[in-house]
Amino acid sequence: MITLTDQKKITWFAACQISDVPANGGVCVKYGDEQIALFHFARRGEWYATQNECPHRKQMALSRGMIGTQEDEPKVACPFHKKTFSLATGQCLTGDECNIKTYPVKTEDGKVFIGIEGGL
C-alpha cells in the first residue's frame, strides 16, 4: 500500500512504449490532469521527464522542444521563445525563469515508466 504521507516512496507508472518516443526528442504524457514531457536522449542513452508547461508564458510545449547539451548539461529549449532548462535538475539556464519540475524515468521490457513521488 502506498500512502501519500510517505514522501520518499516513488510510484512508477507505465507511460508508453520505448518506440513511441522519437530518438533525441520528446512526447507529452498524460498523467491524470497533469502533463509530463518525456524525452529520449538517445545519443546519450538517457531518459528524462519534466513538467510539460514552460514557466515563461505557461505554455504546454516543452515536449515539442529541441533537446541538446550546454557544456554537457542536458537541456530542452522551449519552442516558443527558446528559454532552456536543464533536463537533469530542471534549472532554467537562460535568465530568471523559474525552474521546472523533473521526474525519474526507467525503462523495462520495452516500456517507459515515470516515477511519481508519493504516488497516486
Partner 1 sequence: MKVVVIGNGMVGYKFCEKLKSMAPSVELIVFGEEIRPAYDRVHLSEFFAGKTADDLTLAGLDWYQDNNIRLHLGDPVQSIDRTAKTVHSHKGIIESYDYLVLATGSAAFVPPIPGVDKQGVFIYRTIEDLEMMNAHARKAKTGAVIGGGLLGLEAAKAMLDLGISNTQVIEFAPRLMPRQIDDAGSNILRNKLEMLGLKIHTSKNTSEISGGESITGMQFSDGTSIEVDMLVISAGIKPRDELAKLCGLETGSRGGIVVDEKLQTNDPSIFAIGECALYSGMIYGLVAPGYEMASVVAENLASLPRTGGVVPFGFKEITNIAEFSGPPPSGGRVAFTGYDMSTKLKLIGIDVASFGDPFLTGENIRTVVFEDTMKGIYKRINISADGKELLGGVLVGDAEQYNMLLQTCKNKLVLPPNPEDLVLGSRGGENLAGAGVQGLPDEAMICSCETVSKGAICNAVSELACETMDAIKKCTKAGTGCGGCVPMVKDLMLYTMKSQGKYIRNILCEHFNYSRQEMFDLVKLHELKTYNEVLDKLGKGDGCELCKPPVASILASLWGEMILKKGNDTAQDSNDRFLANIQKGGTYSVVPRIPGGEITPDKLIVIGQVAKQYNLYTKITGGQRIDLFGAHLNDLPDIWGQLIAAGFESGHAYGKSLRTVKSCVGSTWCRFGLHDSVSYAIRIEERYRGLRSPHKLKGGVSGCIRECAEAQSKDFGIIATEKGWNLHICGNGGSKPQHALLLAADLDDETCIKYIDRFLMFYIKTADTLTRTATWLNKMEGGIDYIRNVVVNDSLGMAQAWEAEMQTLVDCYKCEWKEAIENPEIKKRFNHFVNAPEVKDPTVKFETMREQKKVADWK
**Which residues contact ligand FES (rule: CB under 6 A)?**
54, 56-57, 59, 78, 80-81, 83
The residues, ordered by sequence, that sit 6+ positions from 58 with a Cβ below 8 Å of its Cβ are: none
Smallest separation (angstroms) from partner 1 to the CB of 106: 16
Task: Choose the one of partner 1, ligand FES, none that binds residue 81, judging by a C-beta under 5 to 8 angstroms depending on kind.
Answer: ligand FES
Note whether 10 and 117 are within 8 A (CB). Answer: yes
H helices, E strands: number in the chain: 0, 12
Q: Provide the minimum distance between the beta carbon of 102 and partner 1 in the complex, in angstroms, as a whole number.
A: 18
HSE (side-chain half, CA atoms, 13 Å) at 13: 14
Closest CB to partner 1 among residues 22, 108? 22
Q: How many CA atoms lie within 13 A of 43 on its CB side?
A: 7
Binding site for partner 1 (CB under 8 A): 15-16, 20-25, 27-30, 35, 38, 41, 43-44, 57-61, 64-72, 74-75, 77, 79-80, 82, 84, 96, 98
